[in-house]
Structure 1
Amino acid sequence: MRTPPPDLLERAEALAAPGLRRVLGIAGAPGAGKSTLAEQLCAALGGRAVLVPMDGFHLAGATLERLGRAGRKGAPDTFDPDGYRALLTRLRAPVPGVTVWAPAFDRALEEPVAGSIAVPPEIPLVITEGNYLLHDEGPWARVRPLLDEAWFLELDPATRVDRLIDRHVRFGKERAYAEGWVRASDEPNARLVALGKHRADLVVPLS
């Protein structure tokens, strides 16, 4: 795994100082590289950080079908923002001896999986990443105050779209379907995500 850029690692190192639990949020459009950077930071920080993705709060596929939202999976109303906010609130106030279990998102299954990520109380830094950390509508607006620092990742749109299509194909979608999904769903979400850029502490250009 590649190491994260030195300036970003230095900022994360400062947040991972012992004695106080902090939360770093990494936001950006679909395909911007949020999970890759978050994983690189966690690996570089060793046992001082744990990754808790926002995607663990996707609504289940059956629920989206019932609500008529399956065709918009990834939009703000296809997640449980109140559940995510409640978890962040709990993570900010660790209890000695109590491990918090957070959900993950299984891309192969395209489903959230409860109780997948252990967050022991002694870990000083929680890194969370997702599309809507800086979104300011409805319950999403209550997420940003729970982040000690928030970064927004920017990637050339053409590169980002190509990587996003390739990711969909890698996880089993036909290329034509993946291209259509990106145009109809991911890119409208990307435009919405970009509206929160000004709420970030740091804008990170990637290549």
Structure 2
Amino acid sequence: MSDGTPTAVLADALVARVQSLLATGGRSVLGIAGPPGAGKSTLAAQVAAAFGDACVVVPMDGFHLAQAELERLGRADRKGAPDTFDADGYVALLRRLRAPEPGRVVYAPVYRRDLRNPVAGAVAVPGDVPLVVTEGNYLLLDAHGFAPVVGLLDEAWFVAPDDDVRLARLVARHETFGKPPAAALAWSTGPDAANARLVAPTAARADVVVGPALLG
């Protein structure tokens, strides 16, 4: 029986959806949304593993504001909320990715949890790659500057694992990156839970909800 943790192999139903995107020709952008700890990055990695050089993953988390800027703004205690990202920068990158130029590489940032900061120019997206997968909490949110994102996606998935599995995954992740167990649980049931409640209604905007049955 599955515990809700994404398996190492992409479900056949999702493989078929990606194949349909690739069959259209040109560049397609697949968005993977969901609450904190849902397994979005794991699912994106499964797509990348299944489709190899035809796919590049561009995480939304690369547009986290720098830790020093969050502290200046007084938002560090709720890092991960929608207003702790550069939404306009993310939208601008998606627009560039939707209009690739032959022979040109677009570079995207990533977020480094060990550094607590984004790193610019970490992901190369060549112009001839047919599929870009982007993942993050707020891809389907119609507020805080994220409203244009859904219109820049060719397809959107919303990841919805069992909530107890998601919470356990969140707590473990926070512990891995330095929070004591009590602090990890407090953050997971505090700021992370608030963000999960915010994005839950956005599942209605997705083309498919990826629940436990498709997560393995």
Output the TM-score relative to the length of structure 2.
Answer: 0.93
For residue 204 of structure 1, the aligned residue among 192, 198, 210 is 210
| Preserved contact between residue 3 and residue 40 of structure 1 (Cα < 8 Å) | yes
Kindly indicate whether the alpha-carbon contact (under 8 Å) linking 1:16 and 1:49 is maintained by their aligned counterparts in 2.
no
The equivalent residue for 2:4 is none
- The CA deviation at 1:18 is 7.2
Which amino acid counterpart does residue 157 of structure 1 have in structure 2? D
5+ long unaligned stretches in structure 2: 1-6
* Aligned residues: CA RMSD: 1.2
Alpha-carbon distance in 2 for matches of 1:17, 1:55: 29
- 1:142 is aligned to 148
Q: Secondary structure at the match of 2:38?
A: coil
- Is the 2:203–2:209 Cα contact (8 Å) retained in structure 1? yes
C-alpha separation in 2, matches of 1:190 and 1:125: 27
- The match for 2:135 is 129
Structure 2 partner of 1:171:
177
2:28 aligned partner: 22
Judge which range, 151-160 or 118-127, deviates more.
Answer: 151-160
The CA deviation at 1:158 is: 1.3
Residue correspondence of structure 1 range 108-119 to structure 2 within 5 A: 108-119=114-125
1:137 and 1:73 map into 2 onto residues whose CA distance is 17
> In 2, Cα distance between the equivalents of 1:17 and 1:112?
34
Aligned equivalents of 1:195, 1:185: Cα separation in 2: 17
For the 8 Å contact 1:49–1:123, the answer to whether it is kept is: yes
Give the one of 63, 69, 75 matched to 2:69: 63
Out of 85, 105, 125, which is 1:99 matched to? 105
Letter in 2 for 1:143: V
Distance in 2 (alpha carbons) for counterparts of 1:184 and 1:7: 34
Q: CA deviation at 1:148?
A: 0.4
State the 4+ residue runs in structure 1 displaced beyond 2 angstroms: 16-19
**Match of 1:34?**
40
Q: Which residue of 2 aligns with 1:81?
A: 87
Q: Name the CA distance, whole Å, in 1 between partners of 2:145 and 2:154.
A: 18
> d(CA) in 1 for partners of 2:39 and 2:65?
22
Contact 1:17 1:124 in 2 (8 A): no
Query: Which segment drifts farther, 147-156 or 18-27?
Result: 18-27
2:10 to 4, 8, 12: 4
Aligned counterpart, 1:54: 60
Q: What is the total number of aligned residue pairs between the two structures?
A: 207
Q: 2: CA distance between counterparts of 1:101 and 1:138?
A: 24
3-state DSSP class of the match of 1:191?
Answer: helix
Identity of aligned residues (%): 58
**1:96-132 Cα shifts (integer Å, max 9, x gaps):** 1110000011121121100000000010000000000
- Structure 1: segments with no counterpart, 5+ residues: none
